[in-house]
Every structure is written in C-alpha cells, then in structure tokens.
Amino acid sequence: MNRSKSLAATSKSITAMARKRSSKTALIFFLLLSLLAFLSFLPVLASLPSLPSYSHSHSHDLHFHLPRHQRLHRRQKIGVRKFEIAEDKFWKDGKPFQIIGGDLHYFRVLPEYWEDRLLRAKALGLNTIQTYIPWNLHEPEAGKLVFEGIADLVSFLKLCQKLGLLVMLRAGPYICAEWDLGGFPAWLLSIHPDVRLRSSDPAYLQKVEGWWGVILPKVAPLLYGNGGPIIMVQIENEFGSYGNDKAYLSHLVKLARGHLGEDIILYTTDGGSRETLEKGTIQGDGVFAAVDFTTGDNPWPIFKLQKQFNSPGKSPPLSSEFYTGWLTHWSEKMARTGADFTAAALEKIMLQNGSVVLYMAHGGTNFGFYNGANTGADESDYKPDLTSYDYDAPITESGDVDNAKFKAIRRVVGKFSSVSLPSVPPNNKKTGYGSIQLKRTAFLFDLLDEIDPLHIVEAESPTAMEYLNQMFGFVLYVSEYAAKTGGSKLVIPKVHDRAQVFISCSPEVNGGQVSYLGTIERWSNQAINLPNVRCVSSTSLFILVENMGRVNYGPYIFDRKGILSSVYVDGSVLKRWKMISIPFHNLNEVPKFNPLIQVASKFHEVSAGKKLEHKKHAVSNVGAEGPSFYTGHFSIDTKTEVTDTYISFRGWGKGIAFVNEFNIGRYWPTSGPQCNLYIPAPILRQGENVLVIFELQSPNPELMVDSVDQPDFTCGPGQARVHQN
C-alpha cells in the first residue's frame, strides 16, 4: 500500500509540471518518468514470494481482511458466475442469496412430467431444487449403467437450468430417501465376504470409487462455476445418525474434490443436535454443515449450534430438510401435517433471512419395487413404505396445487421474494375411465412346469434372493417333508419379508391340489401348523416369499431378502431346496426371466378364441384363488384426451399391478391406508390399454377394479392422523 501511495504522489507532481510546458514536451517527459518509475518497481516485484494457490475457502478468508465497505464494493463488481459462502451468507454472482428450495426427485416422476412439476415448484416460489441420486437406479446390475428415461439425470438438471432453477445435488452414495436400501444397489449384498456399507471398508470404498468415477464426471460440466445449475453437492446423508467414521467421510470429500474441483460447495446434512453434528460433519475439509430438525422446533438455537460446526463466517442458516409432511408405512394412518402449522414454522426461518429446502416440495411415487422401509426396536419390527410418496407435500403426488398447504407456503414465500411469483397453474385433469373387468389368466403354480430348469437353483439350504442374482420381486422356495399323524409344525426364524406357505401332494393322489396354510410375516413371525396330508410319498412344501422393500435407514440397512435361516419342521432342519426366481419388471430393467410374458401370451390366445389349457392345479383354502395373474383391457377413445387416473383396488387383497407393462407399484388395501394407485397419463394411450395384476391372496369376487379420478387413503385401519413433525 505504501508503494502505491508514493506512485500516486509522483503522478500528481508530473501532472502539475506538465501544465507549464507544451503538450508535446509534457507527453514525452511524462512517458520517460513513467518508464523510470516502472523500472524502479521491477526489483521489488521480483523479490516478492509467489502467492500460494488458495482454495475456494482460503480466498474468502483473505477477503475478510479487507474493510467491510471494500468487501461489498468488490462483490458488487464481480461479473463471473460464482456461488459461495461468506459473512454467514450465501452469495450468488457477488450478491447475497437466500435459498428457497424444495426436494423434487426425478426418479419419482415420469420424465414427461418433469417440466410440469418444476413449473409448479417455481409457482410455489422456489428458486432451488434439491434431489438425490439413487445409485441403484443407475446401476441395477454391477457394471450395467442406465441413464435413459426416468434415469436421465443430466436431462433433468439441464431442464432445471432452462427453467431458472438452481440445484442442490445429493450425490450419496447413501441417500436414505425412503428408497430401497437407501439408494445402494442390492447387488452389493451379494458380494462375499460381506462389504460394510457406509464405512471405510476397502471393498466398499472400491465400489463407491467406481460409481463416483462415473456419476461425478457426468455432473461436473453442470456445476454453477462451469455454467450449470448445481450450486452445492452433498456428501453422504445424515451420517451422524448412523456412525462416526471420519476417515470414510474425508475419503468421500477427497473423491468429490478430485472429480468436481475446489470451488464447488460440498455440504453435509445432519439432525440439529450436538451428537449428530459431531459425528456427521467434516470439519477441517472446507465442507459446509447444514442441519435439519423437526418442523415446529425453534430454529434459531439450532442454527446457533450449527455455527459451531462451520468455520467463522461460513455458517449461513440453512434447514436443508424442512418437513412439509411425513412418510407413511403400510398399516398406518395417512400422515398429515397442518397447512397453517407448516407455514408458520417456515416463516420463523425466513423472517431472519434463513435459507430453507422443503422436504418434500413434491413427493411423487415409488413406482416399481423401489419403496424403502424402516425398522423400530429391532430388524423384525419392519415397516415398509407405501407406493405413494405423496408425503402430504404442497404439490401432491399427481401434481395438484389447489390445496391449503400450497397456498399457505406460497403466501409465506411471497412475503420475502424480491420478485413477483409466477402464476399458479391449474391442477392437471384426471379422468375416471370406469370399471375394468378382469379374467384370471394363470394360477402361479400352473406356471411351474413351464419354467426353464436353468432358472431353478438347487441347494441344501434356502438361498437369499441376492445370491440368486435377483434383486426384487418374489422367490418360490420348494422342498419336501414327511407328513406325520397329528400334523407337524413349520418354523422359519428369519424371513424377509412375507412368506405364504402352501403344500401339495403329487398329481396322482389328489390332482395336485395346492392348499394354503398361512402366512409368516417378518414383523409377527409365527409357526405354521402342517396338517396330516395322506400323500403317497413326501409332501411338497411351497413357500412364496415377497421382498417388500429394503430397509433404507438405521442400523439394519444390511437387509437381504428371502429365507435367511434354516427351515424347521418339528424341530428338524429341512434340507434339499429348489429356488425359483419370480422377478418381474422394475422401473428401469426387464429381467431375463419374466412370467408375465407367458401370462400375456396365454391371455392373447384366449382373446383370439383359442382354448387355454391349464395344468389344472386345484387350490383349496386360499380365499378364492391364491397367487394368480389377472388381466383386463380398457379403452380410451381416440377423440378423448388421455389424462391421469387412479385404479382403485378396494375389495382386493395384496399384490402388484402393471399398466401397459409399466410397474405402477404395490397395492394392499386390506392393510391400507392406500386404496388407489396413481396412473400418470404418459403410461396410458388412446385405444386399448392392458392391466395385469398379480394378486397374492384373494381377488375382488367380481374380478373388477375401477379407474377413478381421485386418490384414496382411507383403506385399512382408519382415518388419517395429523403429524406435527
């Protein structure tokens, strides 16, 4: 600074002298003196040490040494794209920025509706979208990468940018999200020896490095500093609620920096308690620590605590999961959160310029088999999530915004917005297409004789689903036992998640009649009584096990499926098993073996007037039919607009449904609360549409379902509860 003042004084002196001479002489003299001054300055420049290459965070620290008015002046003159943290604020292109964000997950919305839902988020007043990246969606099989359709992350991110929305990207590798296995691909559970998920286990880290080596370079061009919408990238997710492995978290930071560079803001999210923040934050690595907490809590003491886990000046108050609603499990009442209560809690944060991300802004749907599950006191206290991920969010599962919560949140956001909010679009049209008559096209046991032996695995003991190279759906376990006078008792200590038990003699004895004996459920494991069946030889035992969704949160996340223990008949271990995979379509994959193809083929033969020959396995004590396939058609007139609809499964038992070969998810109205499954219009088509149902228990006696224009969450144990988070 002293040398600069000296040069300034010399310049003034020269200017005064110049006024006394001719303009030409003055110009020459000025140039000579300027040259001499510059040459005299060179040795000083040469003697200065070279400046270190400062990271993003260090450059901020240097900036703080300037007086406040100079700092602000400098920020106002910045012309480059930059998103940063300083003075306990977010700064976008040199101006203070308040994040008003919301979670909206691309993998829970059909791509055809991405723009529709994002525009509704903008109308809510949001300027930022937060989304997870589910590893299992993009790598359903080891080495098989999928980035098309609903997995086209790059297109989603570019669409956010096109619509003027910034992005907070939650890269995982663990995401929770009420998503199967917390986003981990289930094939990680087939590796031997076991990999320790969410840890410094080298085998696990090797897989993470491979995955991040694919996904992070894909998103790097879309970072804000590179011209894209991504302002922040999350490391792991709520790790402080799970473990205390700082080496693991630091390794993730190193990986992320290697792929994304030093300028991008990395962040963690943890619950707003000292314990979770101590375990989950990554201090010393320049990673911003955000918090989440129960809606309705006083936010500002928690934001004060947050500051202790960030560097000075680097702790803008941010609730990165502000809960607008809550999740619901099967057999529970639908969770509801009051609109005024939610809006009032939001206003407490925004009144003092706090930033916030709504979880969820729009929930969407757990299509296919991707719903997650939670546990309570132990892993048998198992609670699978609904197909709907409505979450009581302001933008409903079908995109509706004409509701009290949307209006209340928009009203609060509007108070603090520097610009007028976009107009609110109307709700999307929904149509009830009427009743759909179905026909039973196959009994599950009719298909067994048609299965290629290559798809049957034999072993001394039952094998977990993952070891069969099957990740979703069902496995049929088959063995034999010798029936005893007076009957026997079947015990399976560990079954994940729901097992239906059947027995049968050979066809020569009773026509191959299959008898249903009962169901063993993970959460209420009970012994099954095996009756004295007079078979000529041993009695066949069939155990159909359903994977109802892997645990996505907590200590029991290592959640294999199928029969995971020995099977006992009267205390003796039953040996010699056959395992038959029944995987079905999932969101982004079609299994090599798919019984639905066979079923559809048979149905078309019936439609063509050909006689359908069954193996004629009889069935008894299974309600009406037992595990069977049902198929129905419904038409949409070519002159009629195709709109969203819902299919009501009232009167049915439990199963899965497919519309035009798209897996729309699980239904279970006898458990509730969800009665209807949401069918987005892009799945439908003008003309003929095909519905296929795999019903596990008992169908509606009339073999009828209804296409209706409203959701329904009143099935099962009772009415909705109000959840004050």
Residues 506, 508, 510, 512, CA torsion sign? positive
Cα–Cα distance measured from residue 269 to residue 277, given in angstroms and rounded to the nearest whole number:
9
Q: Classify residue 328 as exposed, middle or buried by CB count within 10 Å of its CB (0-12, 13-18, 19+).
A: buried
For position 139, what pLDDT does the model report?
A: 97
Strand 166-170 versus strand 128-132 pairing type: parallel
> Mean pLDDT, to the nearest integer, of 682-687?
97
In the predicted model, is pLDDT for residue 608 greater than 50? no
What's the distance, CA 185 to chain centroid?
Answer: 12
Q: Is residue 476 within 8 Å of residue 580, measured between CB atoms?
A: yes
Element (H, E) at 459: strand 456-459
What's the distance, CA 215 to chain centroid?
Answer: 16
Q: Classify residue 16 as exposed, middle or buried by CB count within 10 Å of its CB (0-12, 13-18, 19+).
A: exposed
Alpha helices in 520-659 (DSSP H): 595-607
Q: What band does 644 get if pLDDT is binned at 50, 70 and 90? A: very high
In the predicted model, is pLDDT for residue 39 greater than 60? no
Q: Is residue 443 within 8 Å of residue 619, measured between CB atoms?
A: yes
Q: Which is nearest to 535 in space by CA: 479, 617, 480, 460?
A: 480
Cα–Cα distance measured from residue 528 to residue 506, given in angstroms and rounded to the nearest whole number:
21
For position 585, what pLDDT does the model report?
A: 87
For position 511, what pLDDT does the model report?
A: 60
Alpha helices in 576-637 (DSSP H): 595-607
For position 313, what pLDDT does the model report?
A: 97
Cα–Cα distance measured from residue 694 to residue 450, given in angstroms and rounded to the nearest whole number:
18
Is 84 one of the catalytic residues? no
Cα–Cα distance measured from residue 650 to residue 627, given in angstroms and rounded to the nearest whole number:
17
Q: Tell me: the pLDDT tens digits for 359-382?
A: 999 999 999 999 999 999 999 999
Q: Is residue 305 within 8 Å of residue 266, measured between CB atoms?
A: no
Give residue 129's identity as a one-letter amino acid code.
I
Q: Tell me: the pLDDT tens digits for 192-250?
A: 999 999 999 999 999 999 999 999 999 999 999 999 999 999 999 999 999 999 999 99
Catalytic residue among 139, 178, 236, 321: 321
How many residues are there in the chain? 725
Strand 318-323 versus strand 355-362 pairing type: parallel
> Mean pLDDT, to the nearest integer, of 62-71?
37
> In the numeric block, which tokens belong to residue 485?
């006078």
Cα–Cα distance measured from residue 545 to residue 494, given in angstroms and rounded to the nearest whole number:
12
Cα–Cα distance measured from residue 99 to residue 355, given in angstroms and rounded to the nearest whole number:
5
Q: What is the DSSP string of 315-327?
A: ---EEEEEESS--
In the predicted model, is pLDDT for residue 58 greater than 60? no
Where is pLDDT greater, at 146 or 604? 146
Catalytic residue among 238, 332, 625, 695: 238
In the predicted model, is pLDDT for residue 596 greater than 70? no
Three-point CA angle 627, 628, 631, nearest 5°: 150
> In the numeric block, which tokens belong to residue 706?
């209804």
Highest mean pLDDT among 4-13, 334-343, 450-459, 505-514: 334-343
For position 718, what pLDDT does the model report?
A: 54
Q: Which is nearest to 134 in space by CA: 441, 460, 389, 391?
A: 389
Q: Tell me: the pLDDT tens digits for 489-533?
A: 999 999 999 999 999 986 655 567 899 999 999 999 999 999 988
Q: Tell me: the pLDDT tens digits for 72-104?
A: 433 444 458 999 999 999 999 999 999 999 999
pTM of the full structure? 0.87
Q: Tell me: the pLDDT tens digits for 563-593?
A: 999 999 999 999 999 999 998 889 887 665 5
Region class of 366: left (phi > 0), else alpha (psi between -120 and 50), else beta: beta
Residues 590, 142, 167, 414, CA torsion sign? positive
For position 619, what pLDDT does the model report?
A: 52
Q: Is residue 625 within 8 Å of residue 500, measured between CB atoms?
A: no
Question: Other C-beta atoms within 10 Å of 113: how many?
Answer: 19
Is 546 one of the catalytic residues? no
In the predicted model, is pLDDT for residue 469 greater than 50? yes
For position 616, what pLDDT does the model report?
A: 52
What is the 3 state secondary structure string of 538-554? CEEEEEEEECCCCECCC
> Mean pLDDT, to the nearest integer, of 598-608?
47
CA-derived radius of gyration, the chain: 31
Cα–Cα distance measured from residue 364 to residue 114, given in angstroms and rounded to the nearest whole number:
11
> Mean pLDDT, to the nearest integer, of 329-346?
97
For position 451, what pLDDT does the model report?
A: 78
In the predicted model, is pLDDT for residue 455 greater than 90? no
> In the numeric block, which tokens belong to residue 555?
């200590």
Give residue 598's identity as a one-letter amino acid code.
Q
At 293 the three-state DSSP class reads coil
In the predicted model, is pLDDT for residue 687 greater than 80? yes
For position 532, what pLDDT does the model report?
A: 84
Lowest mean per-residue pLDDT among 202-211, 482-491, 609-618 = 609-618
In the predicted model, is pLDDT for residue 126 greater than 80? yes
| Mean pLDDT across the chain | 86
Give residue 570's identity as a one-letter amino acid code.
D
Cα–Cα distance measured from residue 624 to residue 620, given in angstroms and rounded to the nearest whole number:
8
Q: Tell me: the pLDDT tens digits for 251-287?
A: 999 999 999 999 999 999 999 999 999 999 998 879 9
Element (H, E) at 663: strand 662-667
Cα–Cα distance measured from residue 133 to residue 109, given in angstroms and rounded to the nearest whole number:
14
Edge-first strand listing for the sheet containing 89-92: 83-86, 89-92, 95-97
